[in-house]
């Protein structure tokens, strides 16, 4: 059985990307050749892909905007299902916004603002998709997706479609029930509240201003590299361990925000992992706190 011709029976050729580098698909701008990236346009295509991969005995990875991923220098040899602009519709019913998983969080937040709905302002500057945001329970400035998710439609690892309520998603800090389980989010309903459009727009503007002021947005990164350890801030621990600016190759601890590892130019995945390893070890030696990566590491870069 020819693997690519089987995929082409499900997804038209123009939505199958063969042999391109993951650095084009991650905000870190790092990663080797992905054997195949497929871009489905609806949940039916996703079900058929999962059934195909199951029948071939191959696992797969799910990609949103790649803003929380460190991809291996040696590439990704299993299929990547990318949920992006082909699945990015947004609609409204009363105060509930329903969007496909590939919609950008910024687009969904803007849509809510345009419709005078409050509750999603915190997400306006997070550079991910709604699907990736739900998987990660993305949050900022006191808000979390957990607080507004009403229902999540997804395709399970068996290739069948399901709907989970917000409670069933078991959201926690940067985690959800669907993380790492081979599930693919296809659409999300968000329960928002009526508000004043001008206030909502002003809040979004202010939070984005704070982001630009504090975060090294001029460099490629995956945002906060580590989760916030209970009772601490990762960035403060890293700074106190004397690691501001610590670099290996093109990867460095940001001087502007020590919670970010940035790609200063030409960084490899191995460079980032070397910085991460050194940071974890040094912070542990100095403070006894174990830092856990927030970024998802795909493949092996060493």
Ligand X SMILES: Cc1cc2nc3c(=O)[nH]c(=O)nc-3n(C[C@H](O)[C@H](O)[C@H](O)COP(=O)(O)OP(=O)(O)OC[C@H]3O[C@@H](n4cnc5c(N)ncnc54)[C@H](O)[C@@H]3O)c2cc1C
Between 141 and 284, CB nearer to ligand X: 141
Measured distance CA(211)–CA(68) in Å, rounded: 17
Selecting among 72, 174, 221, 228, the annotated active-site residue is: 174
Q: At its nearest, how many Å lie between ligand X and the CB of residue 156? A: 11
Q: At its nearest, how many Å lie between ligand X and the CB of residue 184? A: 4
Interface positions with ligand X (CB under 6 A): 27, 61-69, 83, 101, 126-129, 131-133, 135-136, 138-140, 183-185, 215, 217, 221-223, 296
Selecting among 67, 221, 224, 301, the annotated active-site residue is: 224
Q: At its nearest, how many Å lie between ligand X and the CB of residue 224? A: 6
Measured distance CA(120)–CA(106) in Å, rounded: 9
Between 75 and 197, CB nearer to ligand X: 75
C-alpha torsion 11→17→23→26, nearest 10: -10
Q: At its nearest, how many Å lie between ligand X and the CB of residue 145? A: 8
Q: At its nearest, how many Å lie between ligand X and the CB of residue 196? A: 24
Between 180 and 281, CB nearer to ligand X: 180
Selecting among 39, 45, 144, 294, the annotated active-site residue is: 294
Q: At its nearest, how many Å lie between ligand X and the CB of residue 221? A: 5
Between 97 and 296, CB nearer to ligand X: 296
| Region for 296 from its dihedrals, namely left if φ exceeds 0, alpha if ψ lies in -120 to 50, beta otherwise | beta
Angstrom CA distances, 149 to 169, 187, 190, 199, stand at 9, 11, 5, 22
- Does 150 qualify as catalytic in the annotation? no
Can you give the C-alpha Rg of the chain in angstroms? 19
Between 155 and 192, CB nearer to ligand X: 155
Reported residue count of the chain is 302
Strands (E) across the chain are located at 16-21, 33-38, 61-63, 69-71, 80-82, 90-93, 96-100, 117-118, 139-140, 143-144, 149-155, 161-165, 184-191, 193-194, 221-224, 247-248, 251-253, 260-263, 296-298
Measured distance CA(237)–CA(242) in Å, rounded: 9
**Residue showing tokens 């290996």:** 248
- Does 294 qualify as catalytic in the annotation? yes
Between 65 and 189, CB nearer to ligand X: 65
DSSP code per residue over 3-18? HHHHHHTTS-GGGEEE
Q: Which residues contact 22 (CB under 8 A, 6 or more apart)?
A: 30, 31, 32, 33, 34, 66, 69, 71, 72, 75, 76, 298
Task: List, by residue number, the catalytic residues.
Answer: 174, 224, 294
């Amino acid at each position: 059985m020819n693997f690519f011709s089987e995929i082409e029976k499900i997804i038209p050729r123009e939505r199958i990307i063969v042999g391109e580098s993951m650095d084009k698909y991650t905000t870190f701008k790092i990663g080797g050749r992905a054997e195949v990236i497929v871009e489905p346009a609806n949940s039916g295509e996703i079900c058929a892909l999962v059934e195909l991969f199951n029948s071939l005995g191959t696992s797969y990875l799910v990609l949103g905007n790649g803003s929380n991923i460190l991809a291996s220098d040696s590439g990704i040899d299993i299929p990547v299902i990318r949920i992006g602009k082909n699945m990015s519709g947004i609609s409204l019913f009363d105060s509930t916004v329903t969007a496909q998983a590939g919609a950008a969080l910024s687009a969904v937040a803007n849509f809510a603002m345009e419709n005078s709905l409050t509750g999603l302002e915190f997400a306006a500057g997070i550079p991910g998709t709604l699907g990736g945001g739900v998987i990660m329970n993305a949050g900022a400035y006191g808000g979390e997706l957990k607080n507004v998710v009403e229902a999540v439609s997804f395709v399970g690892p068996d290739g069948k479609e399901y709907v989970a309520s917000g409670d069933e998603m078991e959201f926690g800090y940067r985690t959800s029930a669907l993380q790492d389980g081979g599930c693919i989010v296809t659409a999300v309903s968000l329960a928002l509240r009526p508000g004043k459009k001008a206030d909502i727009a002003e809040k979004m503007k202010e939070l984005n201003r704070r982001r630009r002021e504090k975060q090294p947005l001029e460099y490629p990164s995956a945002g906060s590299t580590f989760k916030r350890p209970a009772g601490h801030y990762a960035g403060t621990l890293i700074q106190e361990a004397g690691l501001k600016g610590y670099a290996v190759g093109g990867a460095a601890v940001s001087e502007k925000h020590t919670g970010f590892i940035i790609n200063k130019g030409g960084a490899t995945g191995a460079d980032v992992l070397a910085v991460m390893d050194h940071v974890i070890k040094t912070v542990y030696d100095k403070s006894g706190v174990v830092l856990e990566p927030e970024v998802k590491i795909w493949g092996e870069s060493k």
